[in-house]
Amino acid sequence: MKLAPLLSLVLTAGAVTVLSTATAAQAAPGVTPSSVSLTLGPGQSADIAKHVETAPVPPKPDIVFLADTTGSMFDPIADVRANAASVMGQIAAAQPAAQFGVAEYKDVEDSAPFTVRQDITADQAAVQAGIDQWNADGGGDLPEDNLNALFNLATGAVHFRDGGTRIIVIFGDAPSHDPSIGHGLADTVAALNAAHIRVVAVDVGGMNAGGQAEAITSGTGGVYLPDVPADEVSAAILAGIQAIQVKVTPVPFDCDANLAVSFAPPERTVDSGATADFTEHVTVAAGATAGTYTCKVDFKVDGVSQGAAFVQTLSVKVLTLSIDDVVVNENAGNATFTVSLSGTSTDPVSVNFATANGTATAGADYTGRTGTVTFTPGQTSRPVTVPIIDDAVDETDETFTVTLSGAAGAGIADGSGLGTIVDADRNGTFSCTAQVLRVGPLSSPAANPANVPCADDSRTLAQLGLSSGLITVESKTLDASTALTPDNLDTTPAAGDNGTATAKVEQVKITVGGIAPVTIELGVVQATAKATCATGPGGLAPVLTGASSISYLRINGIAVTVGSAPLTVPLVVGALKLNATTTTPTSVTQQAVVLDTLLTDVVISEAHADVHGSTANPTGNPCRV
């Protein structure tokens, strides 16, 4: 590398300062940004631009100043001797761990062609003392013996530290013999590389004959500075050290298993003091749960950690989206789902949603919807409303789904919300009917004669006489009625809902002719049958009840005491049965009076009520939905 055209050298009060466009605006060494916070979802990734400002001097340098001290080098040696303290001070300011050594070489004909004046040390005064021992004399022919000096330095003449940057700064005005005291160019370069030494060559004039100096510097990853004036050698030494290239390698550590961190490129080589740019790629594992995950990255320079300024801390908040399940009555109007974000985000988060049929059908049971839910920064829940369509058809509970997709800014942990439409229609209906008088095939009008379903109805007569054979029945003020509560069974079942039938007559006289005639007189005969929703251990259930009453009874003029309990009175013509209640699991029939004869039967005040299932629920009842 030739660096001389880049240099502008200033010598002030004995201190050498090297200025260049690369270093004048040099930022503080370290990684930027040093702290990164991301919000991602499972399986998502992000790229971050990273900039690593390297120090103007390679890390932990061990620098050996190697001078050609033959007779022609008086002025270059004087310049270095005068400015060595400034050079070492600037290097140590950039790299406090810097250490230095001193050596010199001459010609093979001289008594001491290679001498170490100071082993590598942090004692700059000792290094200065070693430099002060340089004396320009000797030589004799044009080539000198710098290859021998370099080979010896590479093979143990000084003691380099482990884990640092090993640099030999050589300056001279003549090439080396090749071989030089048994060491050729190739052997020397191989030895330097084996010892991980880089060579900075400051050519005062003629040092690169045959390309020798450049072969050494290029072969070791060093720097070649040509045509340096004698009074600028110290500045060139500093500039050459600052121009040595370093390798920056990002090394992740202490990373959570749910994070994968990689870099492009995986490493970068730049001049000392230059910026190494990377793209950091962060990926969250697809199965990561909501939480915060961390990772650190050490941007090592030449394989050596440079301290906290070169360590990046990465924090990734993993956010997930989920949607809940909703159970709603079909008459509720809307099913409102909640889409939840596992934590707050500083950026908007969005996700698409769409409904899909299950056993429920869009257009018949609910209104299909699609759309996008957006969370503004700070929001953690958002509603999705699906209109529910009510109907009057008893049916089983039905379902549909709301599915999330296309999330941005978060992952989807639970992307399917189940909507259950609970049928609000009763599982059945009440039935009811009532009739005041029946004599054989003849009868008074019945209230709600169809029986199913129960309905409000009323049939009244002022009087009615019916005859069948030897039996004659005369009655006054007949009233048959049925009632449904509530009138509209589209409502949700409640305790007290019922179907009721009532048959009432104010006065009845039964005459049975024949050999032993019988006259039966009754006053105010009433029967009631009722199916009622009542609360029980398992919830609402139908309760079937029947009751009747007779204000008085006379048979052939003799009064008979009658209560509300069932009673059978034997007669010559048959049997008189009072207050009879007949029940089944689903029905109740109440008969206030039944005259059972061989000729025909007479029934006075009969009421009936029951419960029925629906087509969808044949075994159901109106107390359930």
Question: Residue 18 pLDDT more than 70?
Answer: no
- pLDDT of 36-72, one tens digit each? 999 888 888 999 999 999 999 999 999 999 999 999 9
Closest CA to 208 of 220, 223, 226: 226
Based on C-alpha coordinates, what's the Rg of the chain? 55
Q: CA 177, 182, 183, 186 torsion: positive or negative?
A: positive
What would you measure as the largest C-alpha separation in the chain, in angstroms?
176
Helix (H, G, I), strand (E, B) or coil at 577: strand
pLDDT score of 389 = 93
Q: Do 177 and 145 contact (CB within 8 A), yes or no? A: yes
Tokens describing residue 67: 């001078």
Q: Do 266 and 50 contact (CB within 8 A), yes or no? A: no
Range list of β-strands (E), 122-215: 165-172, 197-203
Residue 22's pLDDT band, with cuts at 50, 70 and 90, is very low
Q: Do 186 and 217 contact (CB within 8 A), yes or no? A: no
What's the average model confidence in pLDDT over 123-128? 98
φ, ψ of residue 268 to 5 degrees: the values are: -145, 140
φ, ψ of residue 358 to 5 degrees: the values are: -115, -115
Query: What's the mean per-residue pLDDT of the chain?
Result: 92
- pLDDT of 485-501, one tens digit each? 999 887 889 999 999 99
Please report where in the chains the tokens 């290097």 appear, as a residue.
Answer: 91
Closest CA to 234 of 63, 69, 16: 16
Q: How much of the chain exceeds pLDDT 90, in percent?
A: 82
pLDDT score of 301 = 92
Q: Output 295 or 39, whichever has higher pLDDT.
A: 295
What's the average model confidence in pLDDT over 401-418? 93
- Give the integer Cα–Cα distance in Å for 235 and 239: 6
- pLDDT of 130-153, one tens digit each? 999 999 998 767 899 999 999 999
Q: Do 499 and 484 contact (CB within 8 A), yes or no? A: yes
Give the residues across from 17 on adjacent strands.
10
**Residue 188 parent element (H or E):** helix 185-194
What's the average model confidence in pLDDT over 440-461? 96
Q: Output 42 or 384, whichever has higher pLDDT.
A: 384
Q: Output 415 or 489, whichever has higher pLDDT.
A: 415
Give the residues across from 575 on adjacent strands.
570, 596
pLDDT score of 26 = 56
pLDDT score of 330 = 85
Residue 392's pLDDT band, with cuts at 50, 70 and 90, is low
Out of 20-34, 421-435, 494-508, least confident range: 20-34
Residue 411's pLDDT band, with cuts at 50, 70 and 90, is confident
Please report where in the chains the tokens 């039967």 appear, as a residue.
Answer: 601
Question: Residue 97 pLDDT more than 80?
Answer: yes
Stated pTM of the model: 0.60
Q: Do 39 and 317 contact (CB within 8 A), yes or no? A: yes
CB-based contacts of 29: which residues, under 8 Å, 6+ apart? Answer: 53, 54, 55, 306, 309, 310
Identify the structural domains of the chain with CATH numbers, from first to last.
Answer: 33-54+247-318 (2.60.40.10), 61-243 (3.40.50.410), 320-422 (2.60.40.2030), 428-613 (no CATH)
Question: Residue 335 pLDDT more than 80?
Answer: yes
- Give the integer Cα–Cα distance in Å for 328 and 332: 6
- pLDDT of 243-267, one tens digit each? 999 999 999 999 999 999 999 999 9
CB-based contacts of 58: which residues, under 8 Å, 6+ apart? Answer: 95, 165, 167, 241, 244, 246, 272, 301, 302
**Residue 189 parent element (H or E):** helix 185-194
| Alpha carbon 624 to chain centroid, angstroms | 41
pLDDT score of 42 = 87
